[in-house]
Structure 1
Amino acid sequence: MTGPERHTRQKDAVLRQLRTCDDFVSAQELHRKLDDEGVKIGLATVYRQLNALADSGAADTIRLDGQQLFRLCGDDGHHHHLVCRRCGKTVEIDPPSEAWVRKVAEGHGFTVESHTLEVFGLCPDCQKD
């Protein structure tokens, strides 16, 4: 199978697997999960599909310890998270007020088109370790 059919099958497989992940996940981890399911798809293709989802706004992406991680966006369009640096656990949080975001941006001469917020630290379980 080549062309658009293959592209759609691969995209659907990546999306389906990403839906099962509550926390941010690396392309390598997603690739491993797909492989464990018997889905044959190259790692480079997984990266391409994840980046396409991020570019379209369907997925969030962050960099954690030099690694790019991905997470499917919720239906509410939230892009604000607490992220554990150790285990990757992710919690959606309420965004800062729109007025605050605009005030900070305008204070530096920027206009606001969109924003995301990730706060990094240790989750309660990792703090115990």
Structure 2
Amino acid sequence: MTAGPSHGPAQRSSAAGGGTRIRGTRQGTIIGQVLGELPEFRSAQDIHGELRRRGERIGLATVYRHLQVLRQDGVVDAIQDQNGETLYRRCESTAHHHHVTCRTCGKSIEVEGPAIERWAEKVATEAGFTDIDHTVEIFGTCPDCVRRRD
């Protein structure tokens, strides 16, 4: 099974493999700063909108490219919401983990899931797969939203 991502300051090429170094650029630094200030998961469009509100002229395609590399480097977490949209947040943990996200307010917490890891390994092994990876996204209603609803 694949271990958790590395969180070192690797300098990667673009996700397309074009050899373009995108980390260490002014845009990368600004995108990293914005991600560090956003407490919850946000879409690339939301992050782009926040950059524009701050007066930054960074294109949406550039935001997507940086987010992809930061995700591959393990610097940002990415989940898919219930509509299938990818949402991003600066990673708080260096260990492999999953998220439980409130479908009402968007609050998300990181959780380790040894049972999930064992299950994924078992299913893959039984199917003859090796070198597996997986994504698990758990949605529910957080205690604060339950209290507000009652």
Judge same fold: TM > 0.5, yes or no.
Answer: yes
SS in 2 for 1:76: coil
Find the aligned partners of 1:114 and 1:25 in 2 and give their Cα distance: 23
2:121 is aligned, of 95, 102, 124, to 102
Stretches of structure 1 lacking an aligned partner (at least 5 in a row): none
Q: CA contact under 8 A between 1:78 and 1:92: conserved in structure 2? A: no
Tell me the equivalent position of 1:76. Answer: 94
When structure 1 is superposed on structure 2, of 87-96 and 103-112 the one drifting more is: 103-112
Corresponding residue of 1:61 = 78
2:61 paired residue number: 44
Q: TM-score, normalised by structure 1?
A: 0.79
Q: Which of the numbers 2, 13, 25 marks the counterpart of 1:8?
A: 25
C-alpha RMSD of the superposition:
2.6
Greater relative contact order (CA < 8 Å, ≥ 6 in sequence): 2
The answer to whether the 8 Å contact 1:82/1:119 transfers is: yes
Q: CA deviation at 1:41?
A: 1.1
Aligned residues: 127
Deviation string for 1:80-121 (max 9, x for gaps)?
110112322100112224444322321232224433432111
Q: Percent identity?
A: 45
Deviates more, 1:55-64 or 1:110-119: 110-119
Which is helix-richer, 1 or 2? 1
Q: Provide the rounded CA distance (Å) in 2 between the counterparts of 1:6 and 1:58.
A: 12
Q: Which structure 2 residue ranges, 5 or more long, are not aligned? A: 1-19
- Partner Cα distance (1:99, 1:5) in 2: 36
* Counterpart Cα distance in 2 of 1:94 and 1:18: 22
The structure that is strand-richer by fraction is 1
